[in-house]
Amino acid sequence: MSEPAPATSTNADVLMSLNDVVRRFGALRALDGVTFDIMQGEMLGVAGPNGAGKTTLLNVCTGVLPATSGHITFDGQAIRGMPPNQCCQLGIARTFQIPQIFSSMTVRENVATGAEFGIGQGGGGNIEAHVSDVIDLVGLTPQQSNSVTDADLLTRKRIMLAAALATRPKLLFLDEPLSGLNADEVDSFVALFQRLHAALDLTFVIVEHKVRALADLSERILILNFGSVLMIDTPERVLSDERVIDVYLGTRNLA
C-alpha cells in the first residue's frame, strides 16, 4: 500500500502520532478522524463508552487492523498498513481484552513465544535470561513451569502481559487489563504497572473502564466517543469535565 508522506511532527518527544485516522466497518466509522500524539515515556489512559472505538484504536495502532485512511507514525516512521509482526519488530506490543495465551504450553513457554516474536527488537542476547527477567518482573517465577490450562484470570493476564513485555516493546497497549479483577487484584496490577513504568524505558497506553485506577495510573486521559476524541487532558480535568460526565462517567459506577 502506498502511503502519502505523513505530517511529521517537529516534537522529538512524540513516540506515536495519529493524524485524521479513520477506520470503517461498512457504513460505520468506528474511528472517525482521530488525531493525537502519544508522548515518549508517558502513561496515557483511554476511556469512553462501550463501542466508542477503543479496541479498534488499539487494533489500528498495532497493525491488527489497517486504518481506512489517515496517517500513523511511530518513531517518525509511517506504519499505517503494516502487519502486526512488523509493528512488533519496531517495538509496538499489546495485550487483548480477553486474555489470549497458548493453552497447551507452560507459563514460561508462553512468555518465550513473545521473546521469539520480538527477536528483531535488540534480541540476539541471552533469550533465556531475558525470559527469566520478564517472568520475575511480573511475579510469575514460582508458576513458570506450570501448564496454563488451569490458570486463573489474574495469572492469565500476567502471562499475556509478560509475553508482550518479552517482545521488548517501546510502546505497550493494554486493552482493559483490570476487567474482571477484584479490588485487591486491581491494586496489585496498578502497582505492577507503576513498577514496570519506573523500571523499563516503556510508554504505556491503557484502555480501561475502571476510571479511578486509570486516573491513578495516567498522566493524561483520552476520552473516545463515537470514534472521535472528545477530550485529552490531565485526569483531574477530564474527570470533572461536564461533557465527559454526560457521555461517559454519568453512566458508570465510579466506586
Binding site for ligand ATP (CB under 6 A): 25, 28, 30, 48, 50-56, 97
45 binds, among ligand ATP, Mg ion, none (CB under 5 to 8 A by kind): none
**Rule CB under 5 A: which of 124-183 touch Mg ion?**
none
Min. distance of Cβ 47 from ligand ATP in angstroms? Answer: 9
- Residue 55 found at the interface with Mg ion (CB under 5 A): yes
Q: Which is nearer to ligand ATP, 48 or 114 (CB)?
A: 48
Residue with cell 517495538: 91
167 binds, among ligand ATP, Mg ion, none (CB under 5 to 8 A by kind): none
Min. distance of Cβ 195 from ligand ATP in angstroms? Answer: 26
Q: How far apart are CA 117 and CA 76, in angstroms?
A: 23
Q: Which is nearer to Mg ion, 53 or 91 (CB)?
A: 53
53 binds, among Mg ion, ligand ATP, none (CB under 5 to 8 A by kind): ligand ATP
Min. distance of Cβ 105 from Mg ion in angstroms? Answer: 26
**Rule CB under 5 A: which of 63-82 touch Mg ion?**
none
50 binds, among Mg ion, ligand ATP, none (CB under 5 to 8 A by kind): ligand ATP
Q: Which is nearer to ligand ATP, 46 or 131 (CB)?
A: 46
* 3-state DSSP helix/strand/coil % of the chain, to nearest 5: 35, 25, 40
Min. distance of Cβ 48 from ligand ATP in angstroms? Answer: 6
**Which of 45, 55, 9 lies closest to 210, judged by CA?**
45
Q: Which is nearer to Mg ion, 58 or 215 (CB)?
A: 58
What type of residue sits at position 181?
Answer: L
Min. distance of Cβ 97 from Mg ion in angstroms? Answer: 5
Q: Which is nearer to Mg ion, 8 or 97 (CB)?
A: 97
Q: Which is nearer to ligand ATP, 72 or 148 (CB)?
A: 72
Min. distance of Cβ 182 from ligand ATP in angstroms? Answer: 20
How many angstroms separate the Cα of 168 from the Cα of each of 52, 93, 199, 200, 204?
Answer: 29, 8, 13, 10, 13
Beta-bridged to residue 172, according to DSSP, are 93, 204
**Edge-to-edge strands, sheet with 228-233:** 92-94, 171-175, 203-207, 43-47, 220-225, 228-233
Strand pairing of 220-225 and 203-207? Answer: unpaired
State how far Cα 24 lies from the chain centre.
Answer: 21
Residue 107 host element (H or E)? helix 107-117
Phi-psi region of 43 (alpha: psi -120 to 50; beta: other; left: phi over 0): beta
Would you tell me which residues interact with Mg ion (CB under 5 A)?
54-55
